[in-house]
Amino acid sequence: MANVAIIGAQWGDEGKGKIVDLFTHDADVIVRYQGGNNAGHTLVVNGKKTVLHLVPSGALHAEKLCVIGNGVVVDPEVLIDEIRALKAQGHLANDEQIRISEQAHVIMPYHKLIDQARERLRGEGMIGTTGRGIGPAYEDKIARVGIRFVDLLEEDTFREKLERNIQEKNFYLKAILKEKALDFDQIHDSYCQFRDQLKGYVTNTGLLLDQKIRAGKRVLFEGAQGTLLDVDHGTYPYVTSSSTITGGACSGSGVGPQHIQQVIGISKAYTTRVGSGPFPTELHGPEGETLRREGAEFGATTGRSRRCGWFDAVGVRHAVRMNGMTGIALTKLDVLTGFKKIPICTAYRYEGKTIDEFPASSKVMQGAKPVYEEMDGWDQTLDNVRNFSDLPLSAQKYVKRIEEVIGSEIILVSVGPGREQTILLKNPFEK
Ligand code: GDP
Ligand code: IMO
Ligand code: MG
């Protein structure tokens, strides 16, 4: 019986939400372990769309335990709204279904303000963050001044930490970022209200997960963002501030690596990216427009239009190695219908040299030109295909070629946003 991690293999928005929702059927516990409400995970069930930012994507299944692990940074107001909206739809009927780590850090108003003000000041050089305060919240965690749920629950600890932080942040906000100072009482009072609404969910989730695993329950780890946005292994500095890879699933949930047997990378059949940063296969012309239109490539969190390009095997190969992927779920194959030729980027060229491995240098990455091989396209719509052998031959060849160039088995092909629009080749829970 396996526990499975679902990890973004590109720059996020690969369709993790859909795949987590699908595999929740076979799991007992679903854990978010990093990121925050910068994530937007879309689930389409019976034609109805739900976008989740903090609550794990298992929430639409009754009786599955949804855990927000210690590695997540939580905006309490957003979480309260999300739980309320899910309850209004008849989900999360049992309050026991959702648990928040006492060690998870809390996103404060100054984190959001600092994030947004810095981006404004950066102008052209902006990272293109989601403006949700993610980076500044992780900065405080690493600087050892962050406020965790366990701190929020202790009246005196919370007051003391907030007083100290507000003093420092207000100085920074006014002197450096030219923003207005924040009011201690206002923040204190609103966060005490958030605390009262959330305290029933807060617990030692590392211990809880250990108990579940010992009892033979199956755990699904839900990654947010993607490997190429990882703070260590992504296109630094155009990355998010957390460890998005499999290693992050252990530190961000408090579960040892021996308990993760299967690692499934999620990748689109092409590539997208939101925000700034290098993107060698980006298409600036009509083909990029077609991908954006057919793939409805608009951000689930900020609504920004996503940059689109061809499949980049250099990036996904890097993700396969970095995460120890045991398989890949290839999503949005249906979006490629209608292209006469579909290029796959197998390497980069930079200053006359061929590069097979993902470069660490921002300069090299910015200047890298894709080396393409061209595959034949197909005209048939794929939305209703449920067996691999029913895919047009050129679509089958495209999937098989991707498998070869990334060096990992494709265990699932997704042909539409709906739960049922899926060709499952191997179930990772049955390994
Ligand atoms: P996540 O952040 O990785 O969960 O991905 P998002 O939800 O941000 O973005 C993926 C988008 O693609 C969502 O709108 C999904 O409903 C949609 N989607 C997922 N799989 C497929 C697919 O196979 N085909 C199509 N056309 N859309 C898909
Ligand atoms: P999901 O989980 C795509 C991007 C932002 C920006 C960079 C840093 O839905 O795949 P941040 O707010 O994290 O400091 O922004 O990371 N980014 C995402 N891009 N999908 C996401 O999440 C993302 N979360 C952050 O656009 O470029
Ligand atoms: Mg998303």
* CATH code: domain of residue 361: 3.90.170.10
The residue contributing the CA closest to ligand 1 atom 13 is 42
Query: 306 and 272 in contact (C-beta within 8 Å)?
Result: yes
Domain finish residue from 172, 198, 224: 198
Domain finish residue from 262, 280, 296: 262
The answer, yes or no, to whether any atom of ligand 1 lies below 6 A from the CB of 292, is: no
Dist CA 338 CA 286 (whole Å): 13
3-class DSSP state of 177? coil
Residues 220 and 77 occupy one common structural domain? yes
Residues 97 and 127 occupy one common structural domain? no
Residues 343 and 321 occupy one common structural domain? yes
Structure tokens at 190: 């609103």
What is the pLDDT, as a whole number, of residue 428? 95
CA 17, 23, 27: angle at the middle one, nearest 5? 120
Dist CA 339 CA 394 (whole Å): 11
Give, for all 431 residues of the chain, the pLDDT tens digit.
799 999 999 999 999 999 999 999 999 999 999 999 999 999 999 999 999 999 999 999 998 999 999 999 999 999 999 999 999 999 999 999 999 999 999 999 999 999 999 999 999 899 999 999 999 999 999 999 999 999 999 999 999 999 999 999 999 999 999 999 999 999 999 999 999 999 999 999 999 999 999 999 999 999 999 999 999 999 999 999 999 999 999 999 999 999 999 999 999 999 999 999 999 999 999 999 999 999 999 988 888 999 999 999 999 999 999 999 999 999 999 999 999 999 999 999 999 999 999 999 999 999 999 999 999 999 999 999 999 999 999 999 999 999 999 999 999 999 999 999 999 999 999 86
Count of helix runs (H) and strand runs (E) in the chain: 13, 20
Q: How far is the CA of 68 from the centre of ligand 2 (A)?
A: 18
DSSP class per residue in 110-141: HHHHHHHHHHHHHGGG-----SSSHHHHHHHH
Dist CA 275 CA 197 (whole Å): 33
Total tally of structural domains belonging to the chain: 3
* CATH code: domain of residue 70: 3.40.440.10
Q: How far is the CA of 75 from the centre of ligand 1 (A)?
A: 24
Q: How far is the CA of 249 from the centre of ligand 3 (A)?
A: 18
Residue closest to 188 by CA, chosen among 118, 108, 252: 108
Instruction: Return the ligand number nearest the Cα of 57.
Output: 1
Residues 253 and 273 occupy one common structural domain? no
What is the best residue among 24, 264, 331, 384 to mutate for testing ligand 1's pocket, by most ligand atoms within 8 Å of CB? Answer: 331
From residue 145, alpha-carbon distances to 116, 180, 187, 238, 348 in Å are 20, 22, 17, 24, 42
Residues 119 and 81 occupy one common structural domain? no
Residues 217 and 155 occupy one common structural domain? no
Dist CA 103 CA 54 (whole Å): 16
Residues 384 and 281 occupy one common structural domain? yes
Residues 408 and 296 occupy one common structural domain? yes
Residues 279 and 241 occupy one common structural domain? no
Identify whether 41 is a catalytic site residue: yes
Residue closest to 20 by CA, chosen among 76, 66, 72: 66
| CA dihedral for 98, 49, 286, 412, sign (positive or negative) | positive
Q: How far is the CA of 321 from the centre of ligand 2 (A)?
A: 22
Residues 16 and 114 occupy one common structural domain? no
Burial of 363 (0-12, 13-18, 19+ CB in 10 A): exposed
What is the pLDDT, as a whole number, of residue 302? 84
What is the pLDDT, as a whole number, of residue 193? 98
The answer, yes or no, to whether any atom of ligand 1 lies below 6 A from the CB of 330, is: no
Residue closest to 140 by CA, chosen among 69, 224, 239, 241: 241
What is the best residue among 13, 21, 38 to mutate for testing ligand 2's pocket, by most ligand atoms within 8 Å of CB? Answer: 38
Annotated active-site residue in 21, 28, 41, 312: 41
Residues 277 and 245 occupy one common structural domain? no
Domain finish residue from 198, 231, 252: 198
What is the pLDDT, as a whole number, of residue 29? 98
Could you list the residue range(s) of the whole structural domain that residue 173 is in?
107-198
The answer, yes or no, to whether any atom of ligand 1 lies below 6 A from the CB of 53, is: no
Instruction: Return the ligand number nearest the Cα of 421.
Output: 1
Cβ contacts of 3 within 8 Å, gap of 6 or more: 213, 218, 219, 220, 221, 259, 260, 261, 262
Query: 77 and 178 in contact (C-beta within 8 Å)?
Result: no
Residues 287 and 395 occupy one common structural domain? yes
H or E stretch covering 18: helix 16-24
- Global pTM reads 0.98
